Structure 1
Amino acid sequence: MKMQLRLRLVGSVAVLSIAWVLAPAQAQVAPPILPGISVEIADILQMPDTRGQGSEDSRVSANVARINFLREIPGSPGEWIVNDLRGQVYRVDPATQQATTFLNVGDEFSRFIIGPGGLSTGLITVELHPEFLSNGKFYTIHEESASGNPGTPDFQAVGNAGNLASGQHGVVIEWTANDPTAATFSGTHRELMRIAQPSGNLHNLGDIGFNPLAQPGDADYGMMYLAGGDAGYDSEGKGSKQARVTSSIFGKLLRIDPLGSNSANGQYGIPADNPYAGDGDSGTLDEIYAMGFRNLHRIGWDLETGLFIGTDIGQSHVEEVNLLRNGGDYGWDFTEGTFGRGGATLPRDTEGVTFPAAQYDHADGSAIAGGFVYRGAMIPELVGKFVYGDIVNGRLFYSDVDEMIAAEGDSSITTTATVYELFLTQDGAATTLNDLVLDKLGIPTLPRNRHDLRFGQTSDGELYVITKQDGMIRQLVGDGLVGDYNGDGLVDAADYTVWRDTSGQTGAGLAADGDGDGEVDSDDYGVWASAYGSGGSTSRSESVPEPAGVLAALLASAATLMRRRASR
């Protein structure tokens, strides 16, 4: 909403105070998101259109390409593997903008499904073994219909598990390519793990990861992490709760050795240093690394520090960024963020739960899109920041890694790192993902108002932004000049003057319309203030407007806005 000034306004304390006074009376569970830096975003390529291949959920059936992961091939910088939930695995050369179908998983399994209903169906993910170029091994998770399926599940929910003949099976497959460099897959595959999901297509296994910093000989080298959710048992009341039950596979982060064989089914190994592997209790699952997740949607490592980070999609109030620790309990469904389920304040003596390092609430988004810590060279201001966003509304955020670590170590369970909004420019002009997607599709509004945002990272630390709605892969490439309203390459006091002199105007192409919504208003002041000093200016000149002048202008602008809305 336009009057949520707390999202954009920065500057003096007085200005921020006015902003919160003017904001609507809307409950805010987590601290407000603050305005951050601006970066340039560049189009890389559009993936092949895969619409119309099955009975999909109506929320995603209009997606040009349901791109879920972008993985760089280990040891081969500049070459990617990208999967589409509709079954395709592509080898991608971004330099030539070529995407070649490497494998169609849907063609290999007769019970492969991409619907109906739900979002956790299809080819969920693809990940390559660290030694892919020598051993040809890569891994996928896909969904199959349970009805009539001859496969025997290795795992099912505990307690009231439902009818195992209904719902879905989540299947983890190891593939071995005869020639890892070939454009098209030929080789073999075998099943590592099969999970019965009678509650349906909710919050199932969603990500596979290998620690990119682990080296041969390290205990973590070649160990596979599998991130999952509660399958709807805890969140939707589909049956007995699972997420904090150590005999259940649901709501857990798993760690296995895909090349081992000491698991119950003999198809993979159990690392001896997993938290329950040596407890002598046959009732605990040795595969568990951490627990208490509603939907641990994405996991990843900081390429510099090795910090292990996961993002957990919330239920009613809070979206979480978690630092993942061996044996950690992340609280679901007892907690949601730093609050009890339902948003109530937790008692001060709450113990045994690991709380999020950063969080935002549902006033600002509804489903967190996990990202990566920026370690590239193109955007110095973003180095050391964990970049993430919201799947549905397409907003981009970041939090400082050092602050996240400090928040985890703080004795106050309410302490979390600040969340900043990441603004975008393209060709130097302010834009949003919404604008970019609509422009690419040539339509006025998004189907179901969903961007379906995802992220990718390459070994050089650079970040990629993926939007399924238009099937695009874009890259964050450098500083934008948001707030440069007079176009002189600097964001300074002269740009404030342009904003002040045109405040209240509406129309297309207004120089001081920093957020591109067709109005010059207080939000555009916030865009300028958040970018002040960028574009090569090394110091704030004496011509910066006095706080009293800025406050007066802001109040005048806010009054104009309120009068204009009252007259509508």
Structure 2
Amino acid sequence: MGTLKILSLAWVLFLICCDLRTDIQSPTDTIRNDEYELDRAFPNLTFDMPVELTSAEDNTGRIFVIEQRGTIQVFANADDVKQSAVFLDIESEVSSGGEKGLLGLAFHPEYETNGYFYVNYTRSAPLETVISRFKVSASNPNMADPKSETILLRFNQPYGNHNGGKLAFGNDGFLYISTGDGGSGGDPKNNAQDRSVLLGKILRIDVNNTTGNFAYGIPADNPYAGNKEGYREEIYAYGMRNAWRFSFDRQTGTLWAGDVGQNKIEEVDIIEKGGNYGWRIMEGNECYKTNTCKTDGLKEPIWYYEQGGDTGQSVTGGFVCRDKHLPGLEGKYIYGDYVTGNIWALTHADNKAIKNERIAKVVGGLSAFGEDHEKNLYVLAYSSGKIYKIVSVK
């Protein structure tokens, strides 16, 4: 479906001045280095601004891809697949463009029996983030019931950028949500440090139970569960600028996130319960806009890089590699940069970085990484709409 997308002048200007900047290049179908390459996956398919790839873990092997304007496509996990089907279309409800849109998708751990899945999207009038539950159609497993929406959570977005967007279930069965600091530049309302608001956070909720008037439950061990200070009980961690993409290590359960920087530093974080990751006190490993700052109690990134040159300007969080076809990358954190398309493998131990190596490069805007049910790693190219698979050349 679709062809190569040509960006409008307004969109190009937005990318130049804001976080989701990209260098427009002609996409290629195989990108090599000495050890790894990106091979075109599902070459008969292209997508309209893809921002997420995942599976339902329901033993069908199907792949689901989010298109930012408001659709989810589903297709068989086969190299020669000829077409995808529209699993969900909520484009009429979604406010998209820039960093807004349909941004996150997570399937309930018991999806195979209950048919529930969850989405994260922005809508207008007023501009807000919506976390909703839908259910698959009773008659067609490749189609959701569009009338089944149950809104669990919504909150205002003061600006049009830094909307976060990721959803994922942890091994604890709870739903984790990244929110972003609400936008503009420099977090003018200091949302990321304000624990009375949901912006600039990683949230954790219980979708199987309810607490008080909420349409969801508050896990009993959330850092601020039952607090009397007015802090939001949904908060799991805070001090995030825009953790666009996060993931859980399938083997250890460790939560990794890439947090997009302001004007200088991109960072990779290991997220711990109750952690304060510093924004806007710090950007990466440096005090933000000051020479000195109070760093007591702040969590440092496990890795960071300075913006500029051929390195990058907007981190895209990825996955700890558990792909059996990539033994040389086993246990390494695979992540990249949206602008330059660089893809790195971070070797680590005991929550400390040991070595960071560039292993590949994609063109067309590296919007997300994805995993299928067999833990194969994929790379999504935003402007070309193509999907690539990381493979070993040795």
Provide TM-score, normalisation by structure 1.
Answer: 0.60
Which one of the candidate residues 143, 148, 154 is aligned to 1:184? 143
Matched letter for residue 376 of structure 1: D
C-alpha distance after superposition, 1:41-88 (max 9, x if no partner): 221125866xxxxxxxxxxxxxx6211111111132521111101111
Q: Which has the higher strand share?
A: 2
- Residues of 1 paired with 2:71 and 2:186: CA distance? 30
Cα displacement (A) at 1:418:
3.2
**CA RMSD in angstroms, aligned pairs only:** 2.2
- Residues of 2 paired with 1:38 and 1:465: CA distance? 17
Match of 1:267 in 2: 215
Cα displacement (A) at 1:259:
2.5
Are 1:169 and 2:128 matched, yes or no?
yes
Are 1:310 and 2:240 matched, yes or no?
no
Q: Which has the higher helix share?
A: 1
Match of 2:306 in 1: 361
- Residues of 1 paired with 2:391 and 2:346: CA distance? 19
Match of 2:38 in 1: 41
C-alpha distance after superposition, 1:254-303 (max 9, x if no partner): 00012222154x3111111100003333x111000000001011111111
Match of 2:192 in 1: 243
Match of 1:165 in 2: none
Contact 2:264 2:283 in 1 (8 A): yes
C-alpha distance after superposition, 1:352-401 (max 9, x if no partner): 00000111110321000111011112121111110111011111111013
Match of 2:241 in 1: 294
Aligned ranges 1:61-72 → 2 under 5 Å: 65-72=48-55
Aligned ranges 1:209-224 → 2 under 5 Å: 209-211=168-170, 214=171, 220-221=172-173, 223-224=174-175
Cα displacement (A) at 1:417:
4.4
SS of equivalent residue, structure 1 residue 276: coil
C-alpha distance after superposition, 1:475-511 (max 9, x if no partner): 112125xxxxxxxxxxxxxxxxxxxxxxxxxxxxxxx
SS of equivalent residue, structure 2 residue 91: helix
Show structure 2 runs of 5+ residues with no match.
Answer: 1-32
Show structure 1 runs of 5+ residues with no match.
Answer: 1-35, 50-63, 148-167, 215-219, 408-415, 424-431, 435-449, 481-568
- Residues of 1 paired with 2:44 and 2:288: CA distance? 39
Identity %: 30
Match of 1:456 in 2: 370
Matched letter for residue 341 of structure 2: G
Matched letter for residue 114 of structure 1: S
Contact 1:376 1:461 in 2 (8 A): yes
C-alpha distance after superposition, 1:189-231 (max 9, x if no partner): 111111111x3211124100102xx2xxxxx22x110111111
The structure with the larger Rg is 1
C-alpha distance after superposition, 1:293-339 (max 9, x if no partner): 01011111111121111110001111111001000000000011111
Which one of the candidate residues 472, 479, 482 is aligned to 2:393? 479
Cα displacement (A) at 1:144:
1.3
Which one of the candidate residues 101, 111, 116 is aligned to 1:122? 101
Aligned ranges 1:323-472 → 2 under 5 Å: 323-342=270-289, 344=291, 350-363=295-308, 364-402=311-349, 405-407=350-352, 416-423=353-360, 432-434=361-363, 451-472=365-386
Matched letter for residue 421 of structure 1: R
Which one of the candidate residues 106, 119, 139 is aligned to 2:91? 106
Which one of the candidate residues 194, 206, 222 is aligned to 2:165? 206
Match of 1:141 in 2: 120
Contact 1:87 1:105 in 2 (8 A): yes
Cα displacement (A) at 1:180:
8.1
Contact 2:36 2:390 in 1 (8 A): yes
- Residues of 2 paired with 1:180 and 1:245: CA distance? 46
SS of equivalent residue, structure 1 residue 134: helix
Contact 1:320 1:356 in 2 (8 A): yes
Match of 2:228 in 1: 280
Provide TM-score, normalisation by structure 2.
Answer: 0.85
Are 1:252 and 2:201 matched, yes or no?
yes
SS of equivalent residue, structure 1 residue 359: strand
Contact 2:50 2:367 in 1 (8 A): no
Contact 2:136 2:143 in 1 (8 A): no
Q: Does the C-alpha gap of structure 1 residues 47 and 329 become closer, same or farther in structure 2, counting only changes over 3 Å?
A: farther
Cα displacement (A) at 1:37:
6.0
- Residues of 2 paired with 1:291 and 1:135: CA distance? 32
- Residues of 1 paired with 2:34 and 2:193: CA distance? 38
Contact 1:42 1:476 in 2 (8 A): yes
The aligned length equals 357
Contact 2:178 2:203 in 1 (8 A): yes
Q: Does the C-alpha gap of structure 1 residues 389 and 229 become closer, same or farther in structure 2, counting only changes over 3 Å?
A: same
Q: Does the C-alpha gap of structure 1 residues 420 and 113 become closer, same or farther in structure 2, counting only changes over 3 Å?
A: same
Contact 1:464 1:473 in 2 (8 A): yes
